[in-house]
Amino acid sequence: MLKILDRYIIKTFFGPFFFIFSVLFFIFIVNIVWIQLGQFMGKGLTTFQIMKLLFYLGVNVVSMVLPLTILLASIMSFGELGERYELAAMKAAGISLTRVMMPLFGVTIVLAILLYIFSNNIIPDFQRKAKNMLYNIAQTKPALNFTPGQFIDQLPGYMVKFDKIKGDEGRDLEGIFIHKKAGNFENQQTIVAEKGKFANAKNRKYMQLILYNGYVTEDSHAGKSENVRLKQPDQGTKFDTLITHFDISELIDKAIEKEQITDDYRFQTFNELFATIDKTKKENARINENIGNEMINQVNSVVTYMDKNKTKAPVKQQYKIDTIKSDKKTQAIGNAYSRLETLKSNLDSKDKEIDPSKKYFSKVILYQQRMLTYSFTCIIFFMIGSSLGSIIRKGGMGVPVIIAIIIFIIFYIINVGFENVAWSGKMDPYLAAWLPNIILFPFGILMTYKALTDSQLFDSEKYKAIFKPVIKLFVKNKEHKRYQ
């Protein structure tokens, strides 16, 4: 059973915890809105659909928000206990700082376990829903890519403009202008219509547009000289109803490709990712072997060598460069140089082919390991935050917030830095995932030790006393004139 002191300490912690978590979650959501909102705002989506999509995308930030919340809440709660002299009163009553930290340490462990469960079971499901929703928008809402009153060229081969876009799903149009892009050997075509609407085509690779009351203006100048073009007038056709189809397969294929490359592993749990890692490792080994064999074959065509496992055949004596005539020597050196340059360019191109596979492999491992590392980060941040709070003895939103933000920025920079190094293939991704915690853990141990020994870590007078002998060397001791 929890004692009265334990309940009081936990209550003091969860007060700022819920407030800070709400604020940080809102800040991270605003960041997502800033990045994603321009892709679908004002293009036919309802407010509910936008909020639903933002919620799906925002669930992923919990894994980053919770450790920072624990850091801030622990600094603020222990700072308030120290500022109100409650920590001093507990120590005077024989209650050690370790005993004060234990209930919140247990709460932090529970939160870390819950974060792992959340990251393993809930976040992948919401990632799947978010990506599927984005994919469905790209497929079923072609009008989302159009802005009223502006010329756009997102439809391959066409320049279009709609004066007005109406309807619940943005399917009704007014003031339609469609111009087909054409080269010198193609006919120009322009369509102008008063009204129109999007319709569902049988083939999802095409977008169907029904136009009403308009004109089709077209020339037949393809392949003809400029003089003929100037003399021959354009042809115009009036229509009451015209059904046109636009090939949007390129737009849909791009959306599908992004889904397959970047997000498949994000839909999986911790255990499921092991199979993905093994599969990716085998595919990378196969790619590396194929590229290696290809490069060896290219090198073999340039460099002659003897294979010890095969029957030795007589080899012609190689020419010495000094015995060759000057014109032949220049030619031989030029050929050798061009072949080496070709090998070098081929090596660079093959290295670029390997980079995406290495980066994808590192991404999968980092994503899997961060389900664990962020949970351990919660514990480390509590050790740092509770120790700093008891040392600083300042509550509120001032000094504790500044110190917590500085610590989090350092952690974030280390985390992103090692992530980029792992993506480039210069560091093992397992080590890159755990290294930020490995670096911060000794700092957490040090801060805890300083807090338990009542260290005056942030006492300015202590540091002034240390540097006082040095300061005396540069500052003269001025006495009052009356004592001289």
Task: Give the pLDDT confidence score for residue 86 in this predicted structure.
Answer: 84
Alpha helix locations (H) across 424-478? 429-452, 460-474
For residue 389, which of 125, 66, 100 has the smallest C-alpha distance?
Answer: 100
Q: What is the residue-averaged pLDDT of the chain?
A: 77
Average the pLDDT over 134-154 and give the result. 65
* Percent above pLDDT 90 for the chain: 14
Give 48-72 pLDDT, tens digit per residue.
Answer: 777 887 788 788 889 889 999 999 9
Residue type, 319: Y
pTM (predicted TM-score):
0.64
Beta bridge partners of 207: 246
- Give the separation between CA 226 and CA 230, rounded to whole angstroms: 6
- Give the separation between CA 129 and CA 122, rounded to whole angstroms: 11
Task: Give the pLDDT confidence score for residue 260 in this predicted structure.
Answer: 42
- Give the separation between CA 46 and CA 410, rounded to whole angstroms: 40
- Statement: residue 163 has pLDDT above 80: yes
Question: 3-class SS at 85?
Answer: coil
Which letter does DSSP use for residue 184 in this model?
T
What residues contact 406, with CB distance under 8 A and at least 6 apart?
A: none
The conformational region for residue 396 under phi > 0 = left, psi -120 to 50 = alpha, else beta, is left
Specify whether the CB–CB gap between 50 and 29 falls below 8 A.
no
- Give the separation between CA 279 and CA 259, rounded to whole angstroms: 18
- Statement: residue 117 has pLDDT above 90: yes
Q: Please provide residue 371's backbone torsions phi and psi, each rounded to the nearest 5 degrees.
A: -60, -30
Give 250-262 pLDDT, tens digit per residue.
Answer: 665 554 344 443 4
pLDDT band at 309 (very low <50, low <70, confident <90, very high): very low
Task: Give the pLDDT confidence score for residue 1 in this predicted structure.
Answer: 46
Q: Please provide residue 180's backbone torsions phi and psi, each rounded to the nearest 5 degrees.
A: -85, 125
pLDDT band at 320 (very low <50, low <70, confident <90, very high): low
Tokens of 390: 């008891």
Question: 3-class SS at 149?
Answer: coil
Give 394-434 pLDDT, tens digit per residue.
Answer: 766 667 778 888 888 899 899 999 988 888 878 889 999 99
- Statement: residue 375 has pLDDT above 50: yes
